Chains A and B, each alone.
Chain A
Amino acid sequence: MLYAILCYHDENLVWSWSKEEDAALMGKIGGVRAKLTAEGKLGASLRLMPTTAATTLRKTQEPPLVIDGPFAETKEQLLGFYILDVENLEAALEAARQIAAVNPGGAFEIRPIAVFNPDERQATAIKT
């Protein structure tokens, strides 16, 4: 079963970490990633830029409205995610626990993936 682990945290706080703190954290996360990858559980993962770099297309009207950043006044923002290929929720939770263990706070949403479309650009390029 495919799961996404969506990582939420206060980005104001996350971007206040010093470079050394950030690098130390990324090092620890790298360790967890390597382990999960070796166990065949981890697919793609990514870290997002801060929401100040984001744009939102909101379809409340036609043509849709383009807005700067997510306007939602939430305390925590989506900062990145991991894709897991594991047996069941228990295994996904176990992986999420390992990721959470090296993180200083935040929330990790374990969300089953309904449809997964892999990157098909290379295949398409060959066809055309």
Chain B
Amino acid sequence: MNDLAWINAALAAARPQAVGALLRYFRDLDRAEEAFQEAALRALKNWPKNGPPRDPAAWLILVGRNAALDGVRKDARNVALPVDDAISDLDDVETPLAERLDGSHYRDDVLRLLFICCHPDLPATQQIALALRIVSGLSVKQIARAFLVSEAAMEQRITRAKSRVARADVPFEAPGPAERSERLAAVMAMVYLIFNESYSAGDAEARAALCDEAIRLSRLLQRLFQTEPEVMGLTALMLLQHARGAARFDDEGDIILLEDQDRKLWNRELIGEGLALMDKAMRHNRPGPYQVQAAVAATHARAEAAGDTDWAGIDALYAALERMQPSPVVTLNRAVATGKVNGPEAALAMIAPLEERLSGYFHFFGARGAFHLQLGRKAEARQDFNRAIALANSPAEAAHIRRHLDQHLRDAD
């Protein structure tokens, strides 16, 4: 790895903590970001010469803060100051740095930064864009590419999100325990949203970038909340799902369903880590929605062939999830497992009451069409598949259903 790659990795790793601390100082997202940018520029100049600092985040916070304060002073006096000479030589600051930076803020700084991005005033698409820009430091271009929109449109989306956040008045004092856990829940939901967004992202590279970023943020949360089983569950869930990434699409970019995937392509390293995290989480005996969903993913990961899948176990897990977090989508997922255990009629009976609420949901019609098909009701199946195509979220989804139609229903009329 050359200097530049190493420094970029170090900047990315230090970014959440550094921007979070700068936000606490300045209470203004734009100023915090600018200060970080300035510090990052100086790091690029300084680190190759003087070697990397022992604590890159602390270095960036101090340099960023000084640079920003300096900028304010400079503006006030309107005279040029020798900016670089004044602060970029940091040999003498390394030692007292640890004392000057209050490490106890670390957790709340990062949490606040993440929490600001998932403010309830922001629509989901803005939350994700803002988090990827501010916390992860992805470029507007990278984010635009992942969301299949133009750079200008993404720039606008992020600017709009920022100004909403600025008006939203997020409190800067350290949160109490109840508020901290509320923030954590909102942040976990946002991280999972980033992960799920990857399914409809532009191309394989953009997809992988969003997955990796979501997993990185989740590991970061886990370091901040080491004993929180739901965070372990969230990390495990994403690792176990991401492990199937290479098997999910064929060479033409078409979707391959879980049961048709080549399980040799599943990433054993990610599965191993996911299962290890599940073991840790279970010890706490405090189940939650992420742990249950991770347990479903773990059940798939443990099955050597699709035929070995413990569908009764998955059915029971979704039943538990229905109790914790009732939603028609959860029931739909459960119906797939129920269909495997008790047959398609039982599954159809289970989803019959959901039609109204899921009338705009691609997967509802895809699943129902498949149940009909299993029962030989070709006309109903065709109707459902056609509705699914109309509701598809991506060309790959539509193509997948169309292929299904071609294979099974060519002469159904």
B277 at the interface (CB under 8 A from A): yes
- How many B residues, CB 8 Å from partner? 29
CA gap between A71 and B224 in the complex, in Å: 11
B222 at the interface (CB under 8 A from A): yes
User: Which residues in B have their C-beta under 8 angstroms from that of A21?
Assistant: 1, 5, 9
Q: Which residues of B come within 8 Å of A, CB atoms?
A: 1, 5-6, 9-10, 12-13, 52, 54-56, 103, 208, 212, 216, 219-220, 222-223, 226-227, 232, 235, 272-273, 276-277, 280, 283
- How many A residues, CB 8 Å from partner? 26
Restricting to A10-32, which residues have a CB under 8 Å from any CB of B? 10, 12-13, 15-19, 21, 24-25
A53 near B6: Cβ-Cβ < 8 Å: no
A104 at the interface (CB under 8 A from B): yes
User: Which residues in B have their C-beta under 8 angstroms from that of A49?
Assistant: 272-273, 276
CA gap between A25 and B1 in the complex, in Å: 7
Restricting to A49-92, which residues have a CB under 8 Å from any CB of B? 49-53, 55, 66-69, 71, 73, 75
B405 smallest CB distance to A (angstroms): 36
A71 near B5: Cβ-Cβ < 8 Å: no
| Contacts A19-B208, A105-B52 given; does A52 touch B219 at CB 8 Å | yes
Q: Which of A10, A53, A73, A104 contacts B273, CB < 8 Å?
A: A53
Q: List 19 A-B contacts (CB under 8 A).
A: A12-B13, A13-B56, A15-B219, A16-B12, A18-B212, A21-B5, A49-B273, A49-B276, A52-B222, A52-B226, A53-B273, A53-B276, A67-B227, A68-B226, A68-B280, A69-B222, A69-B223, A69-B226, A104-B9
A52 to B, closest residue via Cβ: B222
User: Which residues in A have their C-beta under 8 angstroms from that of B103?
Assistant: 73
B190 smallest CB distance to A (angstroms): 19
B272 near A71: Cβ-Cβ < 8 Å: no
